[in-house]
Structure 1
Amino acid sequence: MRPPNTPCPAASTPFLKGLWYRAYLWALQSMVTYGVGFYRLVRPLPASQRPALIKRYPVRPKLKNSVFIPPSHKTGELLPLYIDVHGGGFALCHPYFDDEFCAHFANTYNILVVSLDYSKAPGFRFPVPVDDLEATIDAVLRDDSLPIDKNRVAIGGFSAGGNLSLAAVQAPSLQGRIHGVVPWYPVVEWITPGSEKLSNREYRSKDEVDMLKTTMPIFNWGYVKAGEELTNPRLSVCFADKSVLPKWIFMVAAQYDILCAEAKEMIMHLADLDDVARKEGEYGFEKGTYKWRMLRGVTHGYNQVAAKGADEEIRLKRIEESYAEAGEWLFRGPFAK
Structure 2
Amino acid sequence: MEQIHPELRQMANRIPKFSVTSGNLWLWRFLTNLRGVTKTPKDIQIQNIFIPGKDGKTKIRLRVYKPRSMPGLVPGLVWLHGGGYVMGRPEIDDLACIQFVRELGIVVISVEYRYAPRHPFPTPLEDAYTALQWVNSHGRQIGMDNRIGIGGESAGGGLAASLAQLAHDRKEIPLTGQLLVYPMLDDRTSIRDDLPKAEIMSWSPISNQFGWEAYLGQKCGMENTPAYAVPSRRTDLSGLPPTWIGVGTLDLFHDENVIYAQRLKEFGVECELHIVRGAFHGFDAIAPKARIVQEFQMSQIAALRKFLFSVKQNFIDPELSIRDE
Same fold (TM over 0.5): yes
Of the three residues 205, 216, 234, the one matched with 2:228 is 234
Structure 1 match to 2:296:
322
Structure 2 match to 1:28:
28
8 Å CA contact 2:189, 2:253 repeated in 1: no
Counterpart amino acid of 1:318?
I
Q: Distance in 2 between matches of 1:48 and 1:158?
A: 26
Q: Distance in 2 between matches of 1:180 and 1:57?
A: 24
- 3-state secondary structure, aligned to 2:305: helix
8 Å CA contact 2:249, 2:278 repeated in 1: yes
Structure 1 match to 2:67:
70
Q: Distance in 2 between matches of 1:294 and 1:50?
A: 31
Q: Distance in 2 between matches of 1:293 and 1:174?
A: 29
The count of residues paired between Structure 1 and Structure 2 equals 282
- 3-state secondary structure, aligned to 1:45: coil
Question: How far is the alpha carbon of 1:260 from its aligned partner?
Answer: 0.6
Q: What does 1:102-121 correspond to in 2, within 5 Å?
A: 102-121=97-116
8 Å CA contact 1:169, 1:175 repeated in 2: no
8 Å CA contact 2:45, 2:68 repeated in 1: no
- 3-state secondary structure, aligned to 2:121: coil
CA RMSD of aligned residues (A): 2.6
Structure 1 match to 2:13:
none
Structure 2 match to 1:3:
none
Counterpart amino acid of 2:26?
W
Question: How far is the alpha carbon of 1:45 from its aligned partner?
Answer: 2.0
Cα distance, 1:209–1:251 mapped onto 2, change above 3 Å: closer
Question: How far is the alpha carbon of 1:84 from its aligned partner?
Answer: 0.9
Of the three residues 237, 255, 260, the one matched with 1:266 is 260
TM superposition score normalised by structure 2: 0.78
| 1:33-69 deviations in Å (ceiling 9; x for gaps) | 1x22xx44xxx52434865211111236432111111
8 Å CA contact 2:21, 2:207 repeated in 1: no
Q: Distance in 2 between matches of 1:202 and 1:260?
A: 14
Identity %: 22
Gaps of 5+ in 2: 1-19, 312-325
Q: Distance in 2 between matches of 1:318 and 1:174?
A: 38
Counterpart amino acid of 2:211?
F
Question: How far is the alpha carbon of 1:233 from its aligned partner?
Answer: 4.3
Structure 1 match to 2:182:
185
Cα distance, 1:297–1:125 mapped onto 2, change above 3 Å: same
Q: What does 1:235-314 correspond to in 2, within 5 Å?
A: 235-240=229-234, 241-243=236-238, 245-246=240-241, 248-272=242-266, 289-304=270-285, 306=286, 312=287
Question: How far is the alpha carbon of 1:238 from its aligned partner?
Answer: 1.8
Q: Which has the higher contact order (CA 8 A, sep 6+)?
A: 2
Of the three residues 144, 153, 156, the one matched with 1:158 is 153
Cα distance, 1:252–1:174 mapped onto 2, change above 3 Å: farther
Counterpart amino acid of 1:260?
H
Gaps of 5+ in 1: 1-19, 274-286, 307-311
Cα distance, 1:48–1:224 mapped onto 2, change above 3 Å: farther
